[in-house]
């Protein structure tokens, strides 16, 4: 852990506003418009990670569940679009910075995850996946708006293989059971299909998330669907890891909070990207 290493914003001004006042106002408007039932005892969330103009309103449905809650630490699991590596990369620095300020890394929990896990090959300190990646960064301004006095453990999943998925989810769940934490998966759904085709593909993901409610549901079935590319989502591995962790942390229910795609925002239905917010509780 390098206390002097602060990860600067790389997508402020492109994925979301760089002006702090505009950014906070934008997020608060999204939160206010998100008409959703507030669920108690949320253990895990699924959030999209596109530019706010496209997916920000959908993300607000998840983040409204956290508004004004007291949570010590948020574990954020995001996919890597920017570089390839074959493990789960835990950020080795002290903070992530956005226009709203710095978000401190929970160095103690990060160290427990890396050094206390039974899977040292799968969970490591590294700046791989953190240097230029947007999928984790875009979650932070939402967290900074709805929460106060919290820390994060930023994790980017490289190869979304079964070992990485299951080792990370089980380690978070087992190492931090009974603690005041939440886990967030960053993902978008299908990419660049016509509107109706995308809605059909995304329905498969929604079905798996809703199946979490069933006592006979096996998370391994979802993991197999991800690794075989039966379902299309860029952060399928993070979502499955959050499912695993949430279940160990006590969740036995799920709820899809909102689904839209970019065609619902732009009006262009020729090649859309799907967005989903969901909760495990």
pLDDT tens-place string over residues 125-171: 999 999 999 999 999 999 999 999 999 999 999 999 999 999 999 99
Residue 1 has pLDDT above 80, yes or no: no
112-130 pLDDT tens trace? 999 999 999 999 999 999 9
Q: Which of 279, 9, 16 has the alpha carbon at shortest distance from 142?
A: 16
| Rounded alpha-carbon distances, angstroms, from residue 12 to 133, 192, 208 | 12, 24, 33
Q: What angle do CA 164, 219, 110 make, to 5 degrees?
A: 40
Looking at residues 90-99, what average pLDDT do you find? Answer: 98
Looking at residues 62-88, what average pLDDT do you find? Answer: 97
Looking at residues 20-27, what average pLDDT do you find? Answer: 98
Looking at residues 225-241, what average pLDDT do you find? Answer: 97
Q: Given pLDDT bands bounded at 50, 70 and 90, which one contains residue 177? A: very high
Q: Given pLDDT bands bounded at 50, 70 and 90, which one contains residue 2? A: confident
Q: Given pLDDT bands bounded at 50, 70 and 90, which one contains residue 259? A: very high
Domain ranges of the chain: 2-8+17-280
272-281 pLDDT tens trace? 999 999 999 9
Check residue 266 and give its pLDDT. 94
Domain 2-8+17-280, what fold? Protocatechuate 4,5-dioxygenase; Chain B (3.40.830)
Contacts of 76 (CB under 8 A, 6+ apart): 136, 139, 152, 153, 154, 155, 183, 184, 186
Residue 202 has pLDDT above 80, yes or no: yes
25-65 pLDDT tens trace? 999 999 999 999 999 999 999 999 999 999 999 999 999 99
201-208 LR contacts (CB < 8 Å, sep 24+): 201/231, 201/232, 201/274, 202/232, 202/259, 202/261, 202/274, 202/276, 204/230, 204/231, 205/231, 205/232, 205/233, 205/236, 205/274, 205/276, 206/256, 206/259, 206/276
Residue 56 token pair? 């920000």
């Amino acid at each position: 852990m390098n206390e002097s290493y602060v990860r600067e914003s790389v997508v402020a001004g492109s994925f979301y506003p760089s002006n702090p006042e505009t950014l906070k106002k934008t997020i608060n408007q999204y939160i206010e418009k998100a008409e959703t039932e507030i669920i108690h005892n949320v253990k895990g969330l699924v959030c999209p990670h596109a530019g706010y103009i496209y997916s920000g309103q959908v993300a607000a449905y998840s983040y409204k569940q956290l508004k004004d809650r007291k949570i010590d630490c948020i574990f954020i699991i995001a996919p890597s679009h920017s570089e390839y590596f074959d493990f789960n990369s835990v950020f080795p620095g002290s903070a992530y910075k956005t226009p709203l300020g710095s978000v401190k890394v929970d160095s103690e929990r990060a160290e427990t995850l890396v050094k206390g896990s039974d899977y040292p090959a799968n969970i490591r300190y590294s700046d791989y996946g953190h240097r230029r990646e947007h999928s984790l960064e875009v979650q932070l301004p939402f967290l900074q708006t709805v929460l106060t006095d919290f820390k994060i453990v930023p994790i980017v999943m490289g190869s979304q293989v079964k070992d990485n998925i299951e080792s990370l989810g089980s380690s978070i769940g087992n190492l931090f059971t009974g603690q005041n934490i939440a886990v967030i998966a960053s993902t978008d759904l299908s990419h660049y299909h016509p509107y109706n085709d995308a809605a059909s593909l995304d329905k498969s993901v929604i079905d798996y998330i809703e199946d979490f409610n069933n006592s006979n549901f096996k998370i391994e079935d979802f993991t197999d669907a991800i690794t075989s590319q039966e379902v299309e989502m860029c952060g399928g591995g993070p979502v499955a890891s959050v499912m695993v962790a949430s279940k160990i942390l006590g969740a036995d229910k799920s709820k899809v909070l909102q689904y839209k795609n970019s065609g619902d925002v732009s009006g262009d239905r020729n090649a859309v990207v799907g967005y989903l917010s969901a909760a495990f509780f």
